[in-house]
Amino acid sequence: MMARGRIVGTGSTTPRRILTNKELESIVDTSDEWITRRTGIKERRISSNGRGENTSDMATTASLKALQMAGISPETLDMIVVGTVTPDRQFPSAACFVQKALDAGKAMAFDVSAGCSGFLYALSIANNAIGTGNCKNALVIGAERLSGITNWEDRNTCVLLGDGAGAVVLTPSTEPDGILSTHLRSDGNLWDLLYSFDERSKIPDFLDTIETKPFFLKMEGNRLFKKAVSCLAKIAVRALEYHGLSCDSVKLMVPHQANLRIIRAVAERLDIPMDRVYTNIEKYGNTSSATIPIALDEANREGLLKPDDYVLLVTFGAGLTWGASVVRWSP
Ligand code: UT7
């Protein structure tokens, strides 16, 4: 029987600095009332380089917690893969910095860029590598420092975003558990609903502007919202049907945390009551690739995941990209 990845450890971290909705009222023309009502977000975490909270630092901290829970030492890792759109540098990858910090000399390390879906894409790659036997122990991370690409004058986006990281450790299982499947989709035709405004795209004509212009994120929230609800609901059903499962069998849905209204609308379409949906968007906002592994870790540490529970992970983000993964939780 082909092996699949079983999640044997989870970990997460968020920066210490809390930025509340109230504080944002003095930065842009917004209100706690608007942000809470339209998004469900109350506060988010903002990282600081000086405090060692760059993307790879947070990824490393989350990984250490996951490795500790798994009882696995870094030198036995065969693969480190980080889903991120905000690596410390364009290259080398954040994963290589994590490898260095962990002293995981045997592993291959690389990043995956798939917008907010980066973690699920990374999970799928690692799971498939375990399935082929090419890899035994894998560390899969979602880590972002969105505050670095946030336009703090744009109220449409700056109130939504935050920083953080989450990680899972995978080991091979030949039991009917672990990551049963991951269904992934993308649609590049809709790239311009959410993208980084990046002066590098103008090289070499405007070399002189590169240093002075920041990169920041642009978003057409309204169109994205509708697309997110329909893509998430459809891919969730497809992923469950693939295993002959109904929405009733889902013990916990752990969705990407972009907007509480999106999460509620998807749960409603799937007929999954909100007490079987994990949300923490009120504390962290949208941390892109990091939302699912942070939520999964919190749910795990809160004791919400029991052996043989079906857990549904669903994601949606820039690209556009989206996907769903069905996990049968293991002891
Ligand atoms: O993670 C990857 C994918 N991301 C998403 O899927 C995000 C999807 N989109 C959303 O979550 C929502 O569309 C937003 C939260 C971004 C916006 O909520 P909305 O209910 O769709 O609001 P809207 O864009 O339709 O704007 C409604 C009004 C506008 O004012 P007018 O034109 O009606 O006068 C905006 O200018 O709300 C205004 N507005 C704000 N007001 C106060 C927009 N942002 C703010 C703000 N504070 N921060």
190-209 mean pLDDT? 68
Reading the block at residue 267, the tokens are 């749960």
Does the domain at 1-331 match CATH 3.40.47.10? Answer given as: yes
291-316 mean pLDDT? 97
| pTM of structure | 0.95
Atom 3 of ligand 1, nearest CA residue: 317
Angle at 305 between CA 277 and CA 104, to 5 degrees: 110
Does the structure show a pLDDT above 70 at 112? yes
Q: Ligand 1 pocket: which of 32, 34, 156 to mutate (most atoms <8 Å of CB)?
A: 156
Atom 48 of ligand 1, nearest CA residue: 155
Reading the block at residue 329, the tokens are 């939780």
Q: Are 151 and 69 in contact (CB under 8 A)?
A: no
DSSP β-ladder status, 138-145 and 79-83: parallel
From the number of C-beta atoms within 10 Å of its C-beta (0-12, 13-18, 19+), residue 253 rates as: buried
User: What pLDDT, on a 0 to 100 scale, did the predictor assign at position 206?
Assistant: 43
Does the structure show a pLDDT above 90 at 50? no
Ligand 1 closest atom vs CA 256: 1
Whole-number Å distance, alpha carbon 31 to ligand 1 midpoint, is: 12
- The pLDDT tens digits of the residues spanning 122-177 come to 999 999 999 999 899 999 999 999 998 888 888 999 999 999 999 999 999 999 89
Atom 22 of ligand 1, nearest CA residue: 222
- The pLDDT tens digits of the residues spanning 21-47 come to 999 999 999 999 999 999 999 999 999
Q: Which secondary-structure segment (H or E) carries 182?
A: strand 178-186
User: What pLDDT, on a 0 to 100 scale, did the predictor assign at position 210?
Assistant: 43
User: What pLDDT, on a 0 to 100 scale, did the predictor assign at position 326?
Assistant: 98
Catalytic annotation on 116? yes
Residue-range domain boundaries for the chain: 1-331
Whole-number Å distance, alpha carbon 138 to ligand 1 midpoint, is: 38
